[in-house]
Each structure stands twice: as C-alpha cells, then as structure tokens.
Amino acid sequence: MQMISRLFALLTELLLKLYQMNYRIVKITTYYKDFLSYYYERFPEVVSQSFDQQYAHLMQQRFAWSDAYAQAFMQQGNQASEIVANAMTLQNQWCEENNFKATDSNSILIAQLKQLQPDVVWFQDSYSYNGEFINKLKALIPTIKIAIGNCCSPISSKYYSDFKAFDFITVCAPYFKNLLEKKGLPECLIIPHAFDKRILKRVPAEAKQHDFLFSGSIILDQRFHEERIQLLENLVKAGVDINLLVNLNQNASKHLLVKQMAFFASKCLNKIGLSSVNKTIKPLQKVNRLDYMPSASKVSKALAQQIKSPVFGIDMFKEMALSKIAFNIHGDIAANFAANMRMYEATGAGTCLLTDWKPDINDYFTDGEEIITYRNLDEATQKIKWLLSEPQELKKITEAGQRRTLNDHTFEKRAEMIDRKIKSLLFNLA
C-alpha cells in the first residue's frame, strides 16, 4: 500500500512539472501599527514618492515577512505580489495613481485584487480577513480559485466558523494544526517561520558590541506573555546585563476598563438575543470574539527601567548582528512546540540563540551545537554566563546555527512547500 502511495505521489509530481502550472498569487497582510508609526516618523519623505517607490522602500525595511514570499514565488516562475492593506499612506497613493475613490480600506484592497486578477490569495492576517469577505472576493473576482488563511497566534473559538472559508490554512507549529483540524477547519499546512537572506547585505559585519539582547513584545492586556515577563524579571534580579528593546504595549492596559465593560455588554447582548448589535458597533465587534474577560499583566519598576524603545525591521537585525547572544522565549500559546520567528531571525543574523527548550526543538536545530536551550531560570542564567566565558565555543555555536538557518530555514524553502500544495489543489481543480 505504501509503495502504491509513493508511486501515485511521484506520478502527480511529474504531471505537475509537465503542465508547468504556474499561477498568480497575492499575499495580503497588515503591519503592526507601532512599526508603521516608527517607519513614517523615520522616513517622512516617502509620503511624496510614487506608489512603486514607496512600496520598494517599505519592503527594504525587511519588517516581518516583508516581500520575501513574493520574491520566492517569483523565483519558481509564478507571478506574485504583496499588499500591506493597512499602510494607508501607501494605499492612498495607489488610489491617486489609479483614479480610484475609496470608501474604506477594504474597497482599496478589492480594487487592487481586481486589477491583479490572482489565482491564489493568501491572507497572512486572517483575523482581519476571513469568512464572508473571502466569499465576497471569490464572487467578485472569478479568477480566484484558492484562498489561503494563516494562523500563528492566539485564536478565539469565535473565529472557527469564519476560517472555514479558506481552502487551507498555513500554521507555524503542530499546535495550531491539531487545534484547528480537530474543530473541523480546513487542512492546515505546517510552515515554520524563516529567514530572509537579503538581510545579510544590510547588517554590519562588525565586532559584537552587546553581550545579550532581547528584542520583542510584551503584551500586557491578553496575559499570554506571563512566562516571558516572569523570566525577564528574574534575569534582571539575577543581575544579567540585558539589552532590552521591547514593545511594552502599555497603552493597551490604560484602556482595560473600557474593554472589560465592552466585553460584559457583548455577553449580555448575546444572552438576551441581541447578538446582531455586536456586529454593528466596532468596540463590541472586537471583544465579542474573545473567550475570556480582558485582563492585564504588570512589569516591575526594575524591569521597566531597563527597557529601551523597540526597533523594527532592518534596525532590529542590525542590533541583533551586533549582539553575542539573542534571547528567545515562546509565548504561553506555543504550548510544547518551537514556533517563534525569533529563532530564525537570530541565527540567520549571526547571533547565538538562547531559547526555551521544546520537545521538537531538534527538528529545527541541534541543541548544544547550533543553538542553546534552557528549561528554567537557573539554567538560563548559568548558560548565559558559560557562553560569555567561552568565546570560542560561543563563536562555534553561532556559526553552526547560522549555517543551519541559511541552508534549511529560508523563505525559498518554505515557499516550495506552499507551492506544492497550491499546485496540487490547482491540479485537482483543472
């Protein structure tokens, strides 16, 4: 039976190559508002540039996935585009150049997709775009044969029905695949995060200036960074010299009472049969999808005093490349799976990765040779001190980790996995 399955898989692959089923794909995402504010404050001059110039400059910041997937899909012979749907300065420039009068951000996105006529749309931000919107797109743009979703962060059960509109869903860890498929959602394809090799052309090849770096977020109003906060607190107390470049997201906690009241009101409306009201009022729309009462975490004064302003994109990679050790800790949502983007960013940039141990970590890196893991505070502290006291061992692990990432964990490798899945579906639809 296994032999027959293998033969069938080989035959399918040969047929796909024979027919060269290239396609047009558009990936749609939204960027963190904090990054967009950071970007436009740093580069105010871009607002006067053309759409193409603005787009190229924004992508050069290498924030998150940037246009790495679009580039990888094009290398495979496909036509690929990237839309940052909430970069409104960029989007409004598109409207001006295309004589399009927008009613809202969704109308711009639809107009862009009508112009591009894709066969495949991939929504990196599937929390903003799902359900009825996907069905509407397929009706308005008949060329769209496949709509792909994405999930790699906490998901409320309220999204389950809307995610059924996707043909398949990319996830960054088996945790999400197990969760969503058990709930009857479409097939999930595990696509771990990756590193963009183009970044290395922009980061300094200089001597390391910092011993230890943590760059990331601490989200205070959803409580899934509790473990991260506790460990950073303990490292500060232990006297470890950490360069903390953190998006603390303190404004979220300032509005906590309003969110809690809105959450309570939405639940009351559901109970008395007025759930439709929750769909018409924006503050209620957001909290209605939550399974829990919004609550806040806190950080100590000692930790808060060490935190510096966050940096994003290429600026973050420059800081990382100048650091001997980069620290990673998964959010509580990751469960027992290694899933963070930071694992690939740090190793790819040429920094020794110290990350929390997960049972599947050796699926991605060889622990002790390519990266270093820890299981608790004491072990993390000991390994930091050991690495700093053994510069040759630190260098050896750093170089091995970077080689592994540049060989196995690139966007080109990840795109090949998605490409095979897309072509398989297109072949079945043909």
Q: Give the DSSP H/E element, type plus range, for residue 386.
A: helix 377-389
Nearest in space to 158 (alpha carbons), one of 302, 58, 267, 241: 267
Domains along the chain with CATH numbers: 21-194+411-429 (3.40.50), 199-248+299-408 (3.40.50.2000), 254-288 (no CATH)
| Coil, strand or helix at 32 | coil
- Cα three-residue angle 275-280-286, rounded to 5 degrees: 80
Q: How far apart are the C-alpha atoms of 83 and 122, rounded to whole Å? A: 10
Per residue of the chain (430 residues), give pLDDT as tens.
567 777 777 776 665 554 567 999 999 999 999 999 999 999 999 999 999 999 999 999 999 999 999 999 999 999 999 999 999 999 999 999 999 999 999 999 999 999 999 999 999 999 999 999 999 999 999 999 999 999 998 888 989 999 999 999 999 999 999 999 999 999 999 999 999 999 999 997 778 888 999 888 777 665 667 777 888 888 888 888 888 898 776 555 556 566 667 676 777 767 777 666 666 666 666 666 666 566 555 778 888 888 888 999 999 999 999 999 999 988 766 678 999 999 999 999 999 999 999 999 999 999 999 999 999 888 998 999 999 999 999 999 999 999 999 999 999 999 999 999 999 999 888 7
Q: Which two tokens stand for residue 77?
A: 């012979």
Cα four-point dihedral sign 279, 282, 285, 288? negative
Asked if 230 and 223 touch (Cβ cutoff 8 Å), the reply is no
